[in-house]
Structure 1
Amino acid sequence: MVQTSSPERETDAGPTSSVSAPSAPSAPEYASWISRDRSTDAASLTMRREAAELVERVVAHYRDNTTHEADGQWTEPVAHYLDADRWQRETDAVHRSVPLPLAMSCELPGPNTYKAIDVLGIPVLITRDRQGAVHAMINACRHRGAKLLEPGCGVSKRLICPYHSWSYDLAGELRGVYAEKTFGEVAREGRSLVRLPAGERAGIVFVSLDPAAEPDLDAWLGDLQPLLEGLRLAECHHYSTSELTSPNWKVTLDGYLETYHFASLHPKTVFETNLSNMMAHDTWGPHQRIAPALRPIAQAVDLPPDQRDPGDCVGPIYWLFPGLAIAGGWRQKIAVSLVLPRTATESVTQQIILLREPAVTEEERRAADRFGEWFHEVVRDEDYATTYGVQQGLQALDGTDFVFGRNEPGLQHFHRTIHRHLDSGATAAPRAAR
């Protein structure tokens, strides 16, 4: 790898950010989970083995003062962020075609639970029926199209339309028609909610917006799936969800896929726990992982490999295309970001906080609150404040291009994947065998 300047010296020497939070929130306490995990299933063993190898790679970067680099730079025309027609083609080729990770399994923790979410103007309802199976459907009554449930998570044994009280079970089957004697008989089999393909893998619920799709989720996740299964996300507890509006989806996601900005944009927050411009990078098909070095690596570098705690040394962010980031998967508290386009100039971000153990005591709830609030404030006041500034300048920069450096391989992979979907006319993820 090409030698890079020291992340420590870079910040001390004075790269400054034009955006700074008035009072940066103190970083919450982080506790490693991976070092305490004693599971012996194949996925857990694979995950721990791979984690040890990943730590060695990041330790090598620390020793050599390097970072993972792409073969060259990548330029992306600014027009690709501005063109409303291209945005429509992108969302058609990507969001309306591939299986979208729209929920964490623990957001639907038991029978008769649901998550309602709007995606590209489509009201989506994800449910877990009384047998525990996951379903997805259009969140609209088949009588007159009223929304059954407002966005959010909850528990309900029946889905009852607020307009005329038609009722459905959690699999979307029509079960009741109010005053059917005067309304007229309704054929139940023809008035179920419109179903969307859905499946559950590694603690994540995937939904396809195309009702005719037959996605093969195992092929879609590929070799990343065992590593995700090793994180045991399905066993976590959903603590909270908050939302942020954000700029154009690509402007927003560009900030999730590199560590180059940590020292300059987050000097009093993220950079307090993470080194800047120092990471390992891996890809699995359209998906990827960036793995920044954490500050305790400075002490761990002199320890024997078997004495290094991966959760203290590396902070991997698993990123599922087209927009789910799982940060802290090796720790006790996990922050999940789900970024979805809303219009050509706006997206929405759900921040989902997961805990390895439920917050029972007041102290545990305060700690979970601090974690979620810190995450929310840093993203809102530092990341998104900056990316809104990026979006404001796009029109004036039309006709030019952005350049992604060799040290930003995650950005390059993300945009290359979008280009591939557009250029090849890809309309779906791998389909299940018949």
Structure 2
Amino acid sequence: MVQTSSPEIRETAEGRGSPASAPPAPPTPEYASWISQDRSTDPAAVTMRREAAELVERVMAHYRDNTTHEAQEQWTEPVSNYLDADRWRRETDAVHRSVPLPLAMSSELPGPNTYKAIDVLGIPVLITRDRQGAIHAMINACRHRGAKLLEPGCGVQKRLTCPYHSWSYDLAGQLRGVYAEKTFGEVPREGRSLVRLPAGERAGIVFVSLDPAAEPDLDAWLGDLQPLLAGMRLAECHHYSTSELTSPNWKVTLDGYLETYHFASLHPKTVFETNLSNMMAHDTWGPHQRIAPALRPIARAVELPPEQRDPGECVGPIYWLFPGLAIAGGWRQKIAVSLVLPRTATESVTQQIILLRDPAVTDEERQAADRFGEWFHEVVRDEDYATTYGVQQGLEALAGTDFVFGRNEPGLQHFHRTIHQHLDTAHRAAR
């Protein structure tokens, strides 16, 4: 089910957006742990559980000392780096048009003859799983006259038929039929397949490169993070829903995903009800990272022996794949995935994907899944994005100044440092 929505923001006397209604109560029962129930002997699952136990110990040390992970120093980022349209083009060329993009969860294409269509930087991308289960990606445009084959969303389709003149393709993108070919003239099949894009599937995530000539090494791209992602067994989850939000400049938007410093002030009646603020562990794997905030039950678990602690109740890790996929709740029964993609220099789009460990079959299960998705959607829209739209509004007036990222915001520092590195690499390659 695909829903679209735009931020509904009112202006307050203080000039900051506020929700149109009272903030939703945190769906505390929806945070049931999965990791404590997992008994898989798969090496990736064993690695994940061992890593989870170690991560809990690290976060507990912060809880005991009332500290958080800190970078060595502060970082300043010129405001002009958010404003410059030319820089935005160079960033998207060096990043989004160059690296493997995580554009779908495997469970969005749950079986043979399924697809996900998504627009990325104005490029219509079509991801398919063919009848043998293999993943493909291609430009979502007919080779006859360029018409879009499928509108954005997920679904089942045994044959891709152009709505304009009924040319048809199989799920691998091969041209299979030309309507009225006798009068049109013979069309060589091998020369009119859909334009393919490099694609691959790892750990329940589908990656696509926008450069048809790219040869991405996904194992190298994910590195040592891949076993931890695989241990969450995301490919076994069930896709429940996808909703969509418009959002500001992609970096303004993503800055809000990469720190826990704002939980108490921005989310006092929602996220802060379940998460402690400004208390987390932080790890990086190449361009990727994980922030792991402390959850409130850690106050009780700190007194328990290690074997009695439930990692899923103590820590809420968010695995973040560069350049814009956040996986929250990977140790739980319900998982919230955020995919942030730039659209223009001043606007991005966010897909919120809800995954379930078990399919919602009964009315009660569907209502619980709906509450979880609605809570996630409303908090991001009415609290996070209401504030970041205010940030966007003030950027031009702050031109010539810079932002400062604190030592307690290592995720932001790593994100911006990685962007700078990709720009530097692209600049050297162009010389």
TM above 0.5, one fold? yes
Task: For residues 251-304 of structure 1, give each alpha carbon's deviation from its aligned partner in whole angstroms, at most 9, with x where no partner exists.
Answer: 000000000000000000000000000000000000000000000000000001
Tell me by how many angstroms 1:29 deviates: 2.8
Native 8 Å contact 1:78 1:402 kept in 2: yes
> Cα deviation per residue 1:220-247 (whole Å; 9 max; x = unaligned)?
0000000000000000000000000000
1:32 Cα shift? 0.1
Q: Give the gaps of 5 or more residues in structure 2.
A: none
Percent identity between matched residues is: 91
Q: Deviations over 1:73-98 (max 9, x none)?
A: 00000000000000000000000000
Against the structure 1 CA distance between its residues 92 and 12, is the aligned structure 2 distance closer, same or farther, given a 3 Å change threshold? closer
Query: Over residues 405-430 of structure 1, what are the superposed CA-to-partner deviations in whole Å (9 max), with x where a residue is unaligned?
Result: 0000000000000000001xxxx999
Distance between the aligned counterparts of 2:166 and 2:370, measured in 1? Answer: 38
Q: Residues of 2 paired with 1:104 and 1:268: CA distance?
A: 30
Post-superposition Cα deviations, 1:118-137, rounded to whole Å, max 9, x if no partner, equal 00000000000000000000
Q: Indicate the SS of the match to 1:417.
A: helix
- Larger mean Cα displacement after TM superposition, 34-43 or 5-14: 5-14
Judging changes above 3 Å, is the alpha-carbon distance between structure 1 residues 431 and 302 closer, same or farther for their aligned structure 2 residues? farther
Does the CA contact (< 8 Å) of 2:282 and 2:289 recur in 1? yes
CA contact (8 A) 2:5 2:246 kept: no
> Is the 1:20–1:382 contact (alpha carbons within 8 Å) kept by the matching residues of 2?
no
- Pair 329,90 (structure 1): closer, same or farther in 2 beyond 3 Å: same
The Cα of 1:306 is off from its aligned counterpart by: 1.2
CA contact 1:203–1:234 (8 Å) conserved in 2: yes
User: For 1:58 and 1:205, how far apart are their aligned partners in 2?
Assistant: 31
CA distance in 2: counterparts of 1:205 and 1:3, whole angstroms:
21
Distance 1:192 1:18, change over 3 A: closer
- Residue number in structure 2 paired with 1:4: 4
Q: Compared with structure 1, are the counterparts of its residues 253 and 130 closer, same or farther at alpha carbon in structure 2 (3 Å cutoff)?
A: same
What secondary structure, in the 3-state scheme, does the structure 2 residue paired with 1:366 have?
A: helix
**Aligned ranges for residues 292-307 of structure 1 at < 5 Å?**
292-307=293-308
- Structure-2 change in CA distance of 1:185 and 1:254 (3 Å): same
Q: Contact conserved, 1:126 with 1:134, CA < 8 A, in 2?
A: yes
* Displacement of 1:347: 0.1
CA deviation map 1:345-374 (0-9, x unaligned): 000000000000000000000000000000
Q: Secondary structure at the match of 1:431?
A: helix
CA change 1:279–1:143 in 2 (3 A) is same
SS in 1 for 2:27: coil
SS in 1 for 2:414: helix
Q: Does the CA-based 8 Å contact 2:255-2:412 persist in structure 1?
A: yes
Task: Give the deviation of 1:30 after TM superposition.
Answer: 1.2
Query: Closer, same or farther in 2 for the Cα pair 1:25/1:35, shift >3 Å?
Result: closer
* Cα pair distance change 1:23/1:78, threshold 3 Å: same
Q: Give the match for residue 282 of structure 1.
A: 283
- CA apart distance, 1:219: 0.1
Distance in 1, matches of 2:109 and 2:3, equals 47
List, as ranges, runs of 4+ consecutive aligned residues in structure 1 with deviation greater than 3 Å: 1-28, 428-434
Alignment check: 8 A CA contact 1:28 1:374 kept: no
Shift of 1:12: 23
Indicate the SS of the match to 2:351: strand
Distance in 1 between residues matched to 2:346 and 2:252, nearest whole Å:
9
Go from structure 1 to structure 2 and tell me whether the alpha carbon gap of 1:39 and 1:13 turns closer, same or farther (over 3 Å shift): farther
1:54-77 per-residue CA deviation (whole Å, 9 max, x = no partner) reads 000000000000000000000000
Q: Give the paired residue count.
A: 430
Relative to structure 1, is the Cα distance of residues 26 and 307 closer, same or farther in structure 2, using a 3 angstrom cutoff? closer
CA deviation vs aligned residue, 1:366-415 (integer Å, no higher than 9, x gap)? 00000000000000000000000000000000000000000000000000
User: Hey, what does 1:143 align to over in structure 2?
Assistant: 144
Give CA deviations for 1:179-228 in whole Å, capped at 9, x if unaligned: 00000000000000000000000000000000000000000000000000
CA contact (8 A) 2:30 2:334 kept: no
Supply the distance in 2 between the matched residues of 1:67 and 1:7 (Cα, whole angstroms): 32
The corresponding residue for 1:110 is 111
> Secondary structure of 1:96's partner?
coil
Cα distance change, pair 152–375 in 1 and its aligned pair in 2 (3 A): same
Separation in structure 2 between the aligned mates of residue 62 and residue 7 of structure 1, nearest angstrom: 35
TM-score, normalised relative to structure 2: 0.94
Distance 1:379 1:303, change over 3 A: same
* Structure 1 residue ranges without an equivalent (≥5): none
